[in-house]
């Protein structure tokens, strides 16, 4: 791996270094425990009965045979969940266990608990469900048709040009407007338009969803699971079960990947009600097919894009129409696409219309910069076409039109200091951009991307130990090394080695509320909380030294882990020296912080990709890949590089091989990792990474989120590279060998 750091972080002693991750030994030796590793006395096993139909009315559920079986300890249906009148809350509950209708193949209908995994599998066949099968629809364009089967009778819309509201699958229509779009297109010398389509794809995490629940006789429920936010699991389970949130404790286990797919409950409420009925702990784990069919992939989409430019290459206006699948229930990743797709550019006249559309597939979930890769695929592909038509260098065009500090984005946000131009200039000056590309059917593509990043409530508690080390307890789930990145920020603020900080993630009873590890927000918000906790520790150390030295606290200074008398240089001590005396001089020192910080700074990214296309088969080989990102301040550069590499590889899969392959009757046909083709090490080259650092002034250490943005430009970069290699403009994903071959054949037929 090649890595370049464009701005040195020499102002820091810990930040910008590459310490060994604190949980590394546990992970590589197998000591780390994941959700399925939980073993409790008398533990039972649970399994879900799922619908074989993508759309059907439930006429009856007969559980009598299962309940009569001596091996079966409990059977539950939606009647065992809390009654809910609010429609949105009912959606959440019905996703867990269907009540009146099933809306996708794999929709949970009932669940069973038994003493062994074998017994529970057999027991499912004893439950009899009478269905009235209904017509189904499994893509966004068909779902929007006037004659489409309607999933939810209460969803109506009057925003589609109808004279009166009608039942529809369009759950929401949102619009952003900036300037005067019509005037902007009138000012253009040329207007470019295209349509783009993408399929549903899955996050592809290795560890399936799991949950172990133990509902004890005193009414306390404890859940062990792997998630991106154990507080969200706690709160969601509390609502679905209708119990006080204070009676639910969630113990976070290590997580084997999430990428947005493990944000809310799936099995946890079901395991809980099975445990309540049996009085025993119950463990549930999904199969891979269940993960594909019944957890949240990203949206399939239709995107129409229109950009007007002057003959010099200035963008005068842009307009977009996006229709996103949300799956069985409303709520797609539309907002990420509409807010981010044009954010790399200064465009004074913009209009973006987005439609959230339900269909008979599992409810969608977030997937790494949710929505942004889809919108960016369309924008950056069309910009590549514009540059070719105007004979402009792709980077010169992007720099000419690049967003700057003060640029207003289409969602109304005005940019603070941002790194778009620095990132684009780094791409243009990189040796990969100008390197010769020899060989037949080889091409090079570039694309820019943006992710707005996230924040939220976060809590940290720091306890000074008598040997001078610090126990750092946090509420953020660690997915990509955030334990160490947060410990680095604490250590930097307190002026101690990061090796003297022991970070751990606490359960929901042991730390203050912390929002999900999502939206690239954990290092930002929990790092800020760690910074504030360090300030709290520092204040207490100063007060303690003042008492010991019998001087006012104003005469005590703290710098780089050393406590000094301001005017007597001989009077000083260190954290490690004062720590053993704390209990005798006033008691333990515990620093605390709970924050909900503002000041999030967006991240800009770019890719240069070289490909070779086999004209006979359409197969695309990725030859070289360089990923660029403005990290603000790279807390742990190795982890940032890892995020760049991981996001890029996922983008390669999304672009070239991955899709939900659906049958005409609404079934997913490729529900195994043999048939759902994610890239392996044989499919991608080493991803070279370039880190640019434009510090975010909205954070004590200049942090910007880095986890989500790397996937954003990859779809378009590969499409542009394929066009450069073949002359074929690919507008549908995946760009599989068959699709590329058809594109080549169609182009040959035209000529």
- C-alpha 720/C-alpha 410 separation (Å) is 25
User: What DSSP state is assigned to residue 554?
Assistant: G
240-293 pLDDT, tens digit each: 999 999 999 999 999 999 999 999 999 999 999 999 999 999 999 999 999 999
| Sole residue written with tokens 């890892």 | 642
- DSSP-derived secondary structure for 571-609: -EEEHHHHGGGGGGTT---EEEEEE-------EEEEEEE
Q: Which of 30-39, 77-86, 387-396 has the lowest mean pLDDT?
A: 77-86
- C-alpha 725/C-alpha 731 separation (Å) is 15
Q: For 465-600, list the strands marked E by DSSP.
A: 470-474, 501-505, 556-559, 562-565, 572-574, 590-595
- C-alpha 489/C-alpha 535 separation (Å) is 11
Tell me how crowded residue 741 is: count the other CB atoms within 10 A of its CB. 18
Query: Could you tell me what percentage of the chain is helix, strand and coil, using 3-state DSSP and rounding each to the nearest 5?
Result: 30, 25, 45
Nearest to 234 by CA among 454, 479, 506: 506
Confidence bin at 519 (pLDDT 50/70/90): very high
- C-alpha 190/C-alpha 459 separation (Å) is 52
Nearest-5° Cα angle at 698, 696 to 700: 85
Helices (H) and strands (E) in the chain, counts: 20, 29
Region 72-78: what's the mean pLDDT? 98
Confidence bin at 159 (pLDDT 50/70/90): low
- C-alpha 267/C-alpha 12 separation (Å) is 44
Reply yes or no: is the peptide bond before residue 648 cis, omega within 30 of 0. Answer: no
Position 11 scores a pLDDT of: 87
- C-alpha 718/C-alpha 377 separation (Å) is 9
- C-alpha 581/C-alpha 585 separation (Å) is 6
- C-alpha 32/C-alpha 27 separation (Å) is 5
- C-alpha 459/C-alpha 514 separation (Å) is 6
- C-alpha 599/C-alpha 244 separation (Å) is 33
Region 647-651: what's the mean pLDDT? 98
659-707 pLDDT, tens digit each: 999 999 999 999 999 999 999 999 999 999 999 999 999 999 999 999 9
Q: Would residue 708 show up in a list of annotated catalytic residues for this protein?
A: yes
Confidence bin at 750 (pLDDT 50/70/90): confident
Region 216-236: what's the mean pLDDT? 97
Position 158 scores a pLDDT of: 53
Assigned token pair, 585: 């001089």
Region 78-101: what's the mean pLDDT? 91
List all residues 6 or more positions away from 8 whose beta carbon is below 8 Å from its beta carbon: 16
Asked if 608 and 457 touch (Cβ cutoff 8 Å), the reply is no
Domain boundaries, the chain: 455-595
577-593 pLDDT, tens digit each: 999 999 999 999 999 99
Assigned token pair, 198: 């993408």
Nearest to 620 by CA among 736, 729, 748, 747: 736
List all residues 6 or more positions away from 147 whose beta carbon is below 8 Å from its beta carbon: none
Q: Would you say residue 160 has pLDDT above 80?
A: no
| Sole residue written with tokens 């984005």 | 409
Q: Would you say residue 89 has pLDDT above 90?
A: no
Assigned token pair, 669: 């046909």
Position 10 scores a pLDDT of: 66
Q: What does DSSP say about strands 128-133 and 56-62: parallel, antiparallel, or unpaired?
A: antiparallel
Asked if 164 and 178 touch (Cβ cutoff 8 Å), the reply is no
Position 7 scores a pLDDT of: 42
> Please, how many CA atoms are within 13 Å of residue 206, restricted to the half-sphere of its CB?
6
Sheet holding 315-327, edge to edge: 170-178, 350-358, 315-327, 301-309, 190-198
Assigned token pair, 405: 């500090």
Confidence bin at 156 (pLDDT 50/70/90): confident
Does 297 or 751 have the greater pLDDT score? 297
- We find that the CATH architecture of domain 455-595 is 2-Layer Sandwich (3.30)
Confidence bin at 157 (pLDDT 50/70/90): confident
- C-alpha 250/C-alpha 336 separation (Å) is 29
- C-alpha 735/C-alpha 174 separation (Å) is 29
List all residues 6 or more positions away from 490 whose beta carbon is below 8 Å from its beta carbon: 460, 462, 470, 472, 501, 530, 531, 533, 534
90-142 pLDDT, tens digit each: 899 999 999 999 999 999 999 999 999 999 999 999 999 999 999 999 999 99
What are residue 197's DSSP bridge partners? 302, 732
- C-alpha 588/C-alpha 544 separation (Å) is 10
Region 187-194: what's the mean pLDDT? 98
- C-alpha 743/C-alpha 732 separation (Å) is 10
Position 751 scores a pLDDT of: 80
Confidence bin at 3 (pLDDT 50/70/90): very low
Mean of all residue pLDDT scores within the chain: 96
Rounded to two decimals, the pTM is 0.96
> φ and ψ at 238, to 5 degrees?
-60, -45
Assigned token pair, 418: 């941002």
- C-alpha 154/C-alpha 705 separation (Å) is 39
Check the CA dihedral 581-586-587-591 and report its sign: negative
Task: Please identify which of the residues 254, 290, 693, 708 carries the catalytic annotation.
Answer: 708
Nearest to 698 by CA among 417, 336, 459: 417
Confidence bin at 84 (pLDDT 50/70/90): confident
The helix (run of H) or strand (run of E) holding residue 87 is helix 87-96
């Amino acid at each position: 791996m090649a890595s370049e750091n464009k701005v040195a972080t020499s102002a820091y002693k810990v930040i910008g270094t590459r310490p060994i991750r604190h949980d590394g030994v546990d992970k590589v030796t197998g000591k780390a425990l994941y959700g399925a590793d939980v073993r409790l006395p008398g533990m039972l096993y649970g399994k879900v009965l799922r619908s074989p139909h993508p759309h059907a009315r439930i006429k009856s559920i007969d559980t009598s045979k299962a309940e009569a079986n001596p091996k079966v300890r409990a059977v539950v249906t939606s009647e065992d969940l809390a009654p809910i009148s609010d429609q949105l809350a009912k959606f959440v509950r019905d996703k867990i266990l269907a009540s009146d209708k099933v809306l996708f193949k794999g929709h949970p209908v009932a669940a069973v608990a038994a003493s062994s995994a074998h017994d529970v599998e057999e027991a499912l066949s004893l439950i009899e469900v009478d269905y009235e099968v209904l017509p189904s629809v499994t893509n966004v364009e068909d779902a929007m048709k006037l004659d489409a089967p309607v999933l939810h009778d209460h969803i109506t819309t009057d925003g589609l040009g109808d004279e009166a509201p009608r039942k529809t699958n369009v759950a929401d229509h949102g619009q952003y407007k900036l300037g005067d779009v019509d005037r902007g297109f009138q000012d253009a010398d040329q207007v470019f338009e295209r349509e783009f389509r993408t399929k549903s794809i899955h996050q592809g995490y290795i560890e399936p969803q799991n949950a172990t629940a133990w509902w004890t006789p005193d009414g306390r429920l404890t859940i062990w699971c792997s998630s991106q936010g154990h507080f969200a699991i706690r709160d969601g389970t509390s609502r679905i079960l209708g119990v006080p949130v204070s009676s639910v404790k969630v113990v976070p286990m290590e997580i084997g990947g999430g990428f947005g797919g493990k944000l809310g409950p799936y099995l946890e409420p079901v395991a809980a009600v099975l445990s309540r009925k049996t009085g025993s702990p119950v463990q549930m784990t999904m199969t891979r097919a269940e993960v594909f069919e019944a957890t949240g992939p990203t949206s399939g989409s239709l995107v129409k894009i229109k950009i007007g430019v002057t003959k010099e290459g200035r963008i005068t206006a842009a307009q977009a129409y996006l229709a996103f699948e949300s799956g069985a229930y409303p709520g797609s990743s539309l907002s990420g696409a509409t807010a981010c797709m044009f954010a790399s550019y200064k465009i004074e006249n913009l209009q973006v219309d987005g439609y959230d559309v339900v269909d008979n597939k599992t409810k969608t979930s977030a997937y790494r910069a949710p929505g942004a890769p889809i919108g960016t695929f369309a924008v950056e592909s069309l910009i590549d076409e514009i540059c070719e038509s105007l004979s402009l260098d792709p980077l010169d065009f992007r720099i000419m039109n690049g967003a700057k500090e003060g640029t207003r984005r289409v969602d109304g946000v005005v940019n603070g200091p941002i790194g778009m131009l620095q990132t684009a200039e780094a791409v243009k000056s990189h040796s990969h951009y100008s390197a010769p590309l020899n060989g037949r059917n080889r091409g090079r593509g570039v694309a820019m991307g943006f992710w707005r990043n996230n924040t939220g409530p976060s809590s940290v508690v720091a306890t000074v130990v008598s040997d001078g080390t610090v126990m750092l307890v946090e509420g953020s789930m660690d997915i990509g090394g955030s334990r160490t990145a947060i410990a680095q920020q604490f250590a930097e603020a307190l002026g101690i080695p990061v090796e003297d900080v022991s970070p751990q993630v606490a359960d929901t009873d042991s730390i203050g509320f912390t929002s999900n590890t999502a939206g690239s927000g954990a290092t930002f918000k929990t790092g800020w909380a760690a910074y504030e906790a360090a300030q709290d520790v520092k204040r207490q150390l100063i007060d303690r030294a003042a008492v010991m030295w019998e001087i006012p606290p104003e005469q005590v200074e703290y710098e780089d882990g050393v406590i000094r008398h301001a005017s007597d240089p001989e009077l000083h001590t260190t954290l490690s020296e004062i720590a053993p005396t704390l209990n005798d001089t006033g008691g333990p020192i515990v620093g605390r912080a709970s924050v909900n910080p503002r000041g999030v700074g967006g991240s800009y990214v770019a890719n240069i990709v070289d490909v070779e296309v086999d004209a006979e088969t359409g197969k695309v080989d990725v030859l070289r890949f360089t990923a660029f990102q403005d990290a603000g301040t790279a807390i742990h550069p190795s982890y940032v590089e890892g995020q760049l590499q991981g996001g890029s590889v996922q983008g390669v899969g999304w672009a070239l091989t991955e899709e939900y392959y659906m049958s005409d009757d609404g079934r997913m046909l490729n529900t195994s990792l043999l048939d759902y083709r994610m890239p392996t090490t044989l499919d991608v080259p080493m991803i070279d990474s370039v880190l640019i650092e434009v510090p975010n002034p909205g954070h004590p250490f200049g942090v910007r989120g880095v986890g989500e943005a790397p996937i954003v430009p990859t779809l378009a970069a590969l499409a542009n590279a394929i066009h450069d290699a073949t002359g074929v403009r690919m507008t549908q994903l995946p760009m599989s060998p068959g699709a590329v071959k058809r594109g080549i054949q169609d182009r040959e037929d035209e000529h």
